[in-house]
Every structure is written in C-alpha cells, then in structure tokens.
Structure 1
C-alpha cells in the first residue's frame, strides 16, 4: 500500500507520461492485463486511458486492472488511471 507521500511523488513523476493502453467498450480482458503487467515490469509507472465508449465506472475498471496485475492505483483522474508496480528486474523509481 502506497503512502500519501509516495502517491504525491508518483503523481509528479507521471505528469509527462502519455497513456500507453486504452480500455474500450470490450472492457478489461486477460490479454490486456498481461500486456499491462509486462509494461509495468518494464516501466514501473504507466497511464491507462479509459475510452468514452466504456460504460463501466472508471474506479471499477482501475480496481479490476490493479487486482489482476497486482499493481497499486496511484490516481484515477477523469478517464486516466495511473498505475505503479515496483519492478523486480528494472528498478528505476526510488520512492521517498
């Protein structure tokens, strides 16, 4: 579980990152979560965009991705979800 200080730091770090995944009307599927998990291992901090044609609640989508990838939700702001998972092999971010 991330502390508020760590979340604040990660929000600052994610400011310049562009979303690399989009969740559409099909919702979250196993293939997508596998790819997100691989991206998290490589980058540690990513953004996921939830498209307008997805009628699920953004918080529910974020929690579903988080639980399937074992990542931490840093923030859900509008249609963007910021996710963090400490990398095993590619450690880049030092939390305060």
Structure 2
C-alpha cells in the first residue's frame, strides 16, 4: 500500500478523533476472529480505531504491526493503547464509511 501523505494523515486523524474503538484485542492477542472482525470493520468503515489490552509496550507495538500487515491496513496514528487504521474500500459505502460520514470534519 502506498504511504499516506502528511495532509492525508492529518485529515484521517481529524476524522478519527471523533471515532470510538470498534475492535478490542484482549489478552489472547491477535486471533483469527479478531483479524476477521478487523477486516470486516475496515471494509465497512475504511477508518477504524482498535484498542489493544496489555501493559507491555513492545507487545502492543508487535500486535499493531502484525494486524496492519495481516489486514493490509495503514497505521495512521498510535496513542497509548489505541491505534487508528485506514484501508481504502473498493466499493465505498456512503452509509457506513467514516470518511464520507465525517467528511465535514476535515474542511
């Protein structure tokens, strides 16, 4: 995936600020169900927040890298236990896409 420009990242962070986490990764780590749910959320919403449990910073960084690689998503921002992921949807659904629904925030 092509790297996002600074302006694109800024716009995505503005939109992501208003979002709540839709995927939670618990103590079991990155399971098949979590990957499946993350892929579904990315295809529906394009821009999502994921919350990662655990106190070990290195383990969280590893999980973030792994989920981005497995899903093909771009890590937009990481703050503490929350990561903002972006993956362009092939057919963009205007009713579900956070980019369309929150487009007024980036103007």
* TM-score > 0.5, shorter chain as reference: yes
Partner of 1:67: 69
Of 64-73 and 30-39, the range deviating more from structure 2: 30-39
Partner of 1:7: 9
The Cα offsets for residues 35-65 of structure 1, whole Å up to 9 and x where unpaired, read as: 1111101000000001136775322111111
Q: Distance between the aligned counterparts of 2:6 and 2:21, measured in 1?
A: 23
Q: Distance between the aligned counterparts of 1:65 and 1:83, measured in 2?
A: 9
Partner of 1:47: 49
Q: Distance between the aligned counterparts of 1:3 and 1:57, measured in 2?
A: 27
> What is the root-mean-square deviation in Å for CA atoms of aligned residues?
2.2
- Structure of greater Rg: 2
Q: Aligned runs of 1:17-56 on 2, under 5 Å?
A: 17-52=19-54
Q: Which has the higher helix share?
A: 2
1:31 deviation in Å? 1.7
Residues 75 and 84 of structure 2 are in contact (CA less than 8 Å); yes or no, is this contact kept in structure 1? yes
TM-score by length of 1: 0.87
Q: Does 1:57 align with 2:79?
A: no
Q: List runs of 5+ in structure 1 lacking aligned partners.
A: none
Q: Distance between the aligned counterparts of 1:9 and 1:61, measured in 2?
A: 25
Change (3 A) 1:14 1:55: closer
TM-score by length of 2: 0.79
Name the count of aligned residue pairs.
96
